[in-house]
Amino acid sequence: MPYPAQGHVTPMLKLAKLLHARGFQITFVNTEFNHRRLLHSRGPDALDRVPGFRFDAIPDGLPPSDADATQDIPALCYSTMTTCLPHLLALLARVDADAGSPPVTCLVVDAVMSFGFDAAREIGVPVAALWTASACGFMGYRNYRNLIDWGLVPFKSAADLQDNVGGGHLATVVYVNYGSITVMTNSQLLEFAWGLANSGYPFVWNIRPDLVKGDSAVLPPEFASAVEGRALLTTWCPQEAAIQHEAVGVFLTHSGWNSTLESLCAGVPMLSWPFFAEQQTNCRYKRTEWGVGMEIGGEVRRDEVTVVLKEAMDGEKGREMRRRAEEWKEKAVKVTLPGGPAETNLERVIHEVLLSQKKG
């Protein structure tokens, strides 16, 4: 069961397919909102059952909303944590009672859907957690308490801080996508737009209808005229395939882990505008540890966007980032080869956790 956001559903679905290929019977549990959204986008036959792989859904506890809307994240987090456990237990009981399918023998839950651990304990089966974000982000969350112990938070006043501190060709196209949850103001949208336009580079920009908070994402006619012939604006595209295209030279991203991972695996450097969660941590590691990224400040300025784009595409820093990104791509290929660490770790989870005991 994934957390109900695309950056969580995608890796969980990939893991489910890997487990299914190894003989597991899969029940993939979405929230009813995401279940309807999937049917809305892919058609009523999208969830026709593959033998041994079924989809089911439980309510998220929020009022019904439009399929194209972005759910309020704080409200969704609170609602899933406080309302979903009994619905999940009821679903598990229903699966167990189905004479046409085997009983539930293990759970794989999103690490942030912690009620899944309670459900596994309740029915007496092993459980594995999928952490869908970065390892450095996980490290950051684990160390939150240390920030308190070290006296770094609550944050000091500004005065105290002052006292303490004193297009078509190879790698020529900019790909822009801020994920499935990130929102911005209309002013920020325009600053990004004109920063892209003034850079002179061709670009592909995935603009969700709900990208602008409380409004529609609409760009002025003069922007369309300025980028005519070198811009593709779309509301959706297959991101993994887009990033892997040889024409893409840099990825302007919100720095979510799915996007970061896909870019690293494609050998594409990144410009990050982090939004929330561990995205700031991902951004820092891309800049300071992995050498594959640059950052755009939170208060977006078109001139800064243009300057950073030019450096990333044609500057010395950009060339070094591409070299480092290629190194990370090679590492990603090696660890996912048959018999490599990724497969070994998956087999360990299967045998040491999921198959560690039989129910009843």
Burial (CB count <10 Å: 0-12, 13-18, 19+), residue 151: exposed
* 8 labelled catalytic: yes
* 110 labelled catalytic: yes
Helices (H), the chain: 6-21, 32-42, 73-97, 115-123, 135-142, 144-149, 158-165, 186-199, 221-226, 239-244, 257-266, 279-288, 302-314, 316-335, 341-349
CA 196 – CA 314 distance, rounded (Å) = 15
- Asked whether 294 and 308 are in contact (CB, 8 A), the reply is yes
> Which among 42, 82, 70, 60 has a CA at the least distance from the CA of 1?
60
Instruction: Round the CA-based radius of gyration of the chain to a whole number and report it.
Output: 22
Structure tokens at 353: 């956790």
CA 106 – CA 355 distance, rounded (Å) = 8
Pairing of strands 173-177, 203-206: parallel
CA 330 – CA 227 distance, rounded (Å) = 35
Q: Choose the catalytic residue: 35, 60, 87, 110.
A: 110
CA 271 – CA 174 distance, rounded (Å) = 10
- Asked whether 131 and 3 are in contact (CB, 8 A), the reply is no
Structure tokens at 75: 């409200």
CA 101 – CA 214 distance, rounded (Å) = 45
Rounded to the nearest 5°, which phi and psi values hold at 82? -105, -15
Helix axes 73-97, 115-123, angle to 10 degrees: 20
Active site residue ranges:
8, 110
